[in-house]
């Protein structure tokens, strides 16, 4: 929570105990909707609903656009259909479509839509036809577009008589059939000569996306071209809407959070689940997988029981071998998953990416192997045993780290090619697998050289 939101929360929480609604309204005056959304998220359900009911229509619609899906559903489920419909008409079309799409009761969804004006209802219904994780699902139907045949003078006159309700930084040009032709910064209208046609000042290479473009691909275009908005066109090339940078920031935040939670073997829904049993269902599956992996490691260790009973000091360096393999595995998988998410790692770079990670793993394995092997030699010397033990530890470290780097690089890339989210391949899954591989390598090398330990 931001510092401003924390201050509002502390004061508001005290006022709520006084049951003085007029004092609450006075305290909420001038609070930014984003801060108010954070405050509501930290109140109890009853307190949040009470505060929300005291907001005027404009403030309510602004707050609904800022809160998360779970809180938005709780705030609107008690509202009468007509009141909710009025709030939807005050919201941007893309935010209104998100809210309507979150209504699980299809009957209520249709009732609320039917109460909206025809123009507003049509805009929302059109947006609802698109998948929520595509360009069409995050675009707004509000955009500024002019015929490419218009002159700067005509456009200025038009804007002076009918200024847009919301600020625009970019304007688009279309042909006679409504097909997108290009775009230009709105400030171009200030310094261009009055007789210049918009078609000559707009960029024909202006980036555009189709409605079915994945939202992650849209985000990459924003980063690549430093965009503040991007037009969305239909299959015929006609302008259908635009996506603004604030929507892309939400996409980047959501996608990054989703990857982080999956890499930790959890879910973002945990943040909105107050019940311990509710959290349990998100974490337990990965804990069980980790438990199975741990039991697998125990089975591998048991298979080499004779070595451990004969050379008990082998167990001293086992945690080191396991932890270093896990560390480099997590590093490699995290970099690969993030590279796939940002588009920096593509299928065409598959071999080069894997070979680079393997080279890094080999180099770090050699360095760590020399250090660990030296420690093993010193340990053996102090125990009066053969120095071959240090060689076993060093070789095992090199092979374990190299294998871990190769495995942790290949699994996310393989998952990506199969259409599976590569983030699933990280965290507990990689750690569990690399632990087992490290143990197997360590004792296998020992088995090969145990004759020298006698």
**pLDDT, tens digit (0-9, with 9 covering 90-100), for 353-411:** 888 888 999 999 999 999 998 988 888 888 777 788 888 989 999 999 999 999 888 88
- Give residue 188's pLDDT: 92
Q: Is the pLDDT of residue 270 over 60?
A: no
- Give residue 263's pLDDT: 62
The 3-state DSSP class for residue 224 equals: helix
Of 48-52, 251-255, 416-420, the poorest mean pLDDT is in 416-420
- Give residue 312's pLDDT: 78
Of 138-147, 224-233, 258-267, 413-422, the poorest mean pLDDT is in 258-267
The Cα–Cα gap between 254 and 267 comes to: 12
Q: Residue range 305-322: average pLDDT?
A: 85
Bridge-partner residues for 88, per DSSP?
Answer: none
Enter the tokens of residue 5: 């939101």
The Cα–Cα gap between 349 and 342 comes to: 14
The neighbour count for residue 45, using CB atoms within 10 Å, is 12
Q: Residue range 16-30: average pLDDT?
A: 75
Does 3.10.580.10 match the CATH number of domain 145-257?
Answer: yes
The Cα–Cα gap between 437 and 410 comes to: 15
324, 402 Cβ separation under 8 angstroms: no
Question: Among 302, 341, 300, which residue's Cα sits nearest to residue 432?
Answer: 300
Share the mean pLDDT of the chain.
84
Enter the tokens of residue 347: 């299928």
Q: Is the pLDDT of residue 4 over 80?
A: no
Between CA 212 and CA 219, with CA 213 as vertex, the angle to 5 degrees is 145
The Cα–Cα gap between 214 and 218 comes to: 7
Angle (deg, nearest 10), helices 69-76 and 33-41: 80
The Cα–Cα gap between 454 and 450 comes to: 7
- Give residue 450's pLDDT: 73
Sort 162 into a burial class: Cβ within 10 Å, 0-12 / 13-18 / 19+. exposed
The Cα–Cα gap between 341 and 347 comes to: 12
Sort 105 into a burial class: Cβ within 10 Å, 0-12 / 13-18 / 19+. exposed
Q: Residue range 240-252: average pLDDT?
A: 90
Residue 301 phi, psi dihedral angles, 5° rounding:
-60, -40
The neighbour count for residue 264, using CB atoms within 10 Å, is 15
Q: Is the pLDDT of residue 146 over 60?
A: yes
Tokens 């000569």 locate to 193
Q: Residue range 49-73: average pLDDT?
A: 86
- Give residue 279's pLDDT: 66
List every span in the chain annotated with CATH 1.25.60.10.
Answer: 3-130
Residue 119 phi, psi dihedral angles, 5° rounding:
-65, -50
- Give residue 396's pLDDT: 92
The Cα–Cα gap between 42 and 124 comes to: 30
Sort 265 into a burial class: Cβ within 10 Å, 0-12 / 13-18 / 19+. buried
Order of strands across the sheet that contains 145-147 = 145-147, 170-174, 180-185
- Give residue 339's pLDDT: 78
Q: Is the pLDDT of residue 148 over 90?
A: yes
Farthest CA pair distance, the chain? 96
Q: What is the pLDDT of residues 162-187, one digit of tens each?
A: 777 777 889 999 999 999 999 999 99
Q: Is the pLDDT of residue 77 over 60?
A: yes
Place 189 in a pLDDT band, splitting at 50, 70 and 90.
Answer: very high
The pTM assigned to this predicted structure is: 0.67
Enter the tokens of residue 321: 């071998």
Q: Is the pLDDT of residue 454 over 80?
A: no
The CATH-assigned architecture of domain 268-452 is Orthogonal Bundle (1.10)
CATH C-level class of 3-130: mainly alpha
For the chain, give the number of residues. Answer: 454
Q: What is the pLDDT of residues 425-446, one digit of tens each?
A: 566 677 778 888 999 999 999 8
Q: Which residues contact 309 (CB under 8 A, 6 or more apart)?
A: none
CA count, 13 A, side-chain hemisphere, 18: 11
Higher pLDDT, residue 86 or 423: 86
Q: What is the pLDDT of residues 212-233, one digit of tens each?
A: 999 988 998 998 888 999 999 9
Between CA 336 and CA 302, with CA 372 as vertex, the angle to 5 degrees is 80
Q: What is the pLDDT of residues 30-49, one digit of tens each?
A: 788 888 888 888 888 888 88
206, 102 Cβ separation under 8 angstroms: no
**Cα dihedral sign for 289, 292, 298, 304?**
negative
Of 70-74, 240-244, 271-275, 325-329, the poorest mean pLDDT is in 271-275
């Amino acid at each position: 929570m931001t510092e401003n939101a924390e201050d509002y929360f502390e004061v508001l929480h005290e006022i709520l105990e006084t049951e003085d609604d007029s004092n609450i309204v006075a305290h909420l005056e001038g609070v930014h909707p984003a801060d108010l959304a954070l405050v509501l998220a930290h109140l109890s359900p009853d307190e949040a609903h009470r505060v929300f009911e005291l907001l005027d229509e404009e403030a309510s619609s602004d707050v609904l656009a800022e809160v998360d899906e779970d809180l938005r559903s709780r705030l609107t489920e008690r509202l009468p259909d007509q009141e909710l419909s009025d709030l939807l008409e005050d919201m941007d079309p893309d935010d209104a479509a998100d809210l309507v799409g979150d209504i699980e009761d299809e009957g209520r969804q249709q009732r609320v839509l039917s109460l909206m004006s025809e123009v507003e209802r049509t805009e929302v219904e059109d947006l609802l036809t698109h998948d929520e994780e595509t360009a069409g699902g995050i675009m707004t139907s509000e955009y500024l577009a002019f015929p490419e045949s218009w002159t700067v003078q005509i456009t200025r006159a038009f804007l002076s008589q009918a200024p847009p309700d919301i600020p625009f930084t970019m304007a688009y040009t279309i042909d006679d059939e409504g097909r997108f032709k290009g775009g230009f910064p709105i400030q171009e209208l200030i310094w261009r000569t009055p007789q210049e046609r918009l078609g000559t000042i707009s960029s024909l290479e202006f980036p555009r996306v189709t409605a079915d473009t994945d939202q992650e691909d849209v985000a990459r275009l924003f980063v690549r071209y430093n965009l503040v908005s991007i037009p969305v066109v239909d299959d015929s090339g006609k302008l259908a809407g635009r996506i603004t940078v604030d929507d892309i920031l939400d996409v980047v935040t959501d996608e990054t959070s989703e990857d982080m939670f999956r890499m930790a073997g959890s879910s973002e829904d945990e943040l909105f689940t107050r019940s311990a049993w509710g959290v349990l269902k998100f974490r337990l599956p990965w804990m069980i997988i980790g438990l199975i992996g741990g039991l697998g490691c125990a089975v591998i260790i048991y298979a080499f029981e004779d070595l451990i009973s004969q050379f008990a000091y082998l167990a001293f360096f086992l945690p080191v071998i396991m932890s270093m393999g896990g560390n480099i595995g997590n590093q490699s998988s995290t970099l690969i998953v993030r590279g796939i998410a940002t588009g920096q790692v593509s299928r065409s770079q598959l071999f080069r990416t894997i070979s680079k990670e393997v080279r890094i793993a080999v180099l770090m394995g050699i360095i760590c192997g020399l250090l660990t092997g030296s420690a093993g030699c010193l340990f053996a010397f102090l125990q009066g045993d053969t120095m071959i033990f240090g060689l076993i530890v060093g070789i095992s470290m090199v092979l374990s780290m190299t294998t871990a780097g190769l495995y942790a690089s290949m699994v996310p890339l393989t998952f990506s090619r199969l259409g599976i989210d590569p983030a699933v391949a990280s965290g507990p899954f990689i750690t569990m697998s690399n632990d087992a591989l490290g143990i197997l390598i360590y004792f296998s090398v020992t088995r090969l050289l145990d004759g020298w330990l006698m």
